Structure 1
Amino acid sequence: MTFKTLFSSAKPLIACIHLLPLPGSPRYDGNMQAVYDTALAEATLFAKYPIDALIVENFRDMPFYPGRLPAETVAAMAAVTRDIVQAVPLPVGVIALRNDAQAAVAIATATRARFIRVNVHMNAVVADQGILQGASHDTLRLRAALHSDVLIFADVGVKHATPLAHRGLALETRDLTERGLVDAIIVSGELTGAVTDPKDVEMVRQHTYLPLLIGSGATPKNLPAVYDKVEGLIVGSYFKQDGRADNPVDETRVKGFTDTMQALAGP
């Protein structure tokens, strides 16, 4: 499986399923049924529109673990992801925040999800969780050991973080492409929902032949400026009420964004 064979669209739009707080996290209220119901309602809503895939995130579990997630989080994510995979006819991905790519690979493989996102696949960054180190060596070996065809989408210049040693987007992109063995690269703004700098998109584009996705800050207003420069988009915050990531999904925003995408795609 490759990026091109996974998606039916030439330029896939991936919507985020930001899960309610999961068991064990500070804001979990004891109601796991609400987690299932909300996630499935959002997945069903997104499936009504020309959205090409979903990605499941333990988004509301902050503050995040810097590395390995506890068993209760992995179990909850696997259970919800499996329900979403069975409920909608769209490829589903997983990101295990903040940076547990091995858990994401395991969840995706067990639930028949098709791809993962990993924030720090290689190198090291300073984030609000402290120092995050890439574990590409473990992630790729686990995928091989599981005989899994789950694709790996990796961030370059990841948001909410600063490189421990600044090596530049160009070199980080080349490392991910040539040594990280990833299937697609994601470039984002500095924070959740922040607009991705077009200059960063151009820099990354110059140094990889892999599919390139914008990971934050896309809106109907700025979409025309970047549409032709990337192979896909991941949208979370814009689809929410008032454009705030922690709010419920706003169907009007979903329709407005997808209408703009279709207009840019042409007949």
Structure 2
Amino acid sequence: MSWTKEILNTEKPIIAMCHIRALPGDPGYDHAAGMQWVLQKAREDFLALQEGGVDAVMFSNEFSLPYLTKVKTETVAAMARIIGELMPEIEIPFGVNVLWDPVASMDLAQATGAKFVREIFTGVYASDFGVWDTNCGETIRHQHRIGAKDVKSLFNIVPEAAQYLAHREIESIAKTTVFNCKPDAVCVSGMTAGEATDSNILSRVKQAIPNTLVFANTGVRINTVEEQLGIADGAVVGTTFKQDGDFNKYVELARVKEFMQEVKRIR
């Protein structure tokens, strides 16, 4: 039995993204509306996802564009406040992703009781955010130092808007990541949020690491979910749940219900 059955109560889970609007310190933060507005929008999106029947939710600071690889304290504090205020209404497992800072993600997970984190834990990349380096050994040691050893780690091995500095085949990346770092799951992404995960790449990764969970991480839609779940062990879904499938809009309950009905038929 995989850990998804134990922790997320199903095989082939759908982890829905709750994209938090720009936070204090972010260029897009609405000072006039303030944190109460950000909290209200997060609540509305989360409740629509939960009522729509998703298996789990992942809270992320998706609108903190452009992203930092070392996130500021105010970002983590604001996310902790939002999750804390939503806690009485949360009835399904949840995870967190503080983009793009694995240490901050672990801190937030431990503070809020999140079951999992998704991050870029490994690799060195040329990215839209500059040269993007990681230190997985230190991150995992930090995880254990703060008592978060039970938090499941989802390793994104195809970072959005970035490319390995040295060419490596995806199979090599997957195999060495699993051998060296022992992720709880590996995520395969498209180029940006909402961009389809390449089924060919997804299949190659799964074949390379058959004993590790592999998730489709971006761009899964109602007309592709059957194919993607035919390859992957689960999916992280965000944009497709929003009005018109538009990243910048808000979650639409009817779209969530329709998508999850299709997933239940497949499963």
Write out per-residue CA displacement over residues 43-102 of structure 1, whole angstroms, 9 at most, x where no aligned residue: 11111122111111111111111x2111111100111122334321111111111x2100
Aligned position for 2:63:
60
The RMSD of aligned alpha carbons is 1.4
Following TM superposition, the consecutive aligned residue runs of length 4 or more in structure 1 with deviations greater than 6 angstroms are none
- Whole-angstrom distance in 1 between the partners of 2:71 and 2:228: 35
Match of 1:115 in 2: 116
The structure 1 residue matched to 2:215, chosen from 210, 213, 221, is: 213
Aligned equivalent of 1:151: 152
Partner residue of 2:13?
12
Aligned partner of residue 244 in structure 2, secondary structure: helix
The C-alpha deviation readout for 1:15-38, integer Å capped at 9, x for no partner, is 111101100111111210011111
Change in CA separation of 1:253 and 1:29 when aligned onto 2, cut-off 3 Å: same
Q: Give the drift of 1:249.
A: 1.0
Equivalence for 1:256: 258
Name 1:234's counterpart in structure 2. Answer: 236
5 Å matches for 1:41-190?
41-65=44-68, 67-97=69-99, 99-118=100-119, 120-148=120-148, 149-190=150-191
Retained in 2: the 8 A contact 1:3–1:211? no
Cα contact 2:51–2:253 (8 A) shared by 1: no
* Alpha-carbon separation, structure 2, partners of 1:86 and 1:151: 23
Give the aligned length. Answer: 262
List runs of 5+ in structure 1 lacking aligned partners.
none
Q: Distance in 2 between matches of 1:247 and 1:32?
A: 18
Q: Aligned letter for 1:250?
A: E
Distance in 1 separating the partners of 2:88 and 2:112: 9
Matched residues, percent identical? Answer: 28
Give the distance between the partners of 1:73 and 1:196, measured in 2 at CA.
Answer: 28
Counterparts of 1:2-41 in structure 2, within 5 Å, are 2-30=3-31, 31-41=34-44
* Distance across 2 between alignment mates of 1:4 and 1:168: 31
Distance in 2 between residues matched to 1:135 and 1:49, nearest whole Å: 37
Does the 8 A contact of 1:19 with 1:57 survive in 2? Answer: yes
* Distance in structure 1 (CA, Å) of the matches to 2:41 and 2:48: 11
Paired residue type of 1:147? G
Alpha-carbon shift at residue 256 of structure 1 (Å)? 1.6
User: How far is 1:2 from its partner?
Assistant: 3.6
1:164: how far off? 0.9
Of stretches 51-60 and 3-12 in structure 1, the one that deviates more from structure 2 is 3-12
- How far apart, CA to CA, are the structure 2 residues paired with 1:159 and 1:29? 26
Indicate conservation of the 8 Å contact 1:85/1:113, yes or no.
Answer: no
The SS at the match of 2:29 is coil
Secondary structure at the aligned position of 2:181 is classed as coil
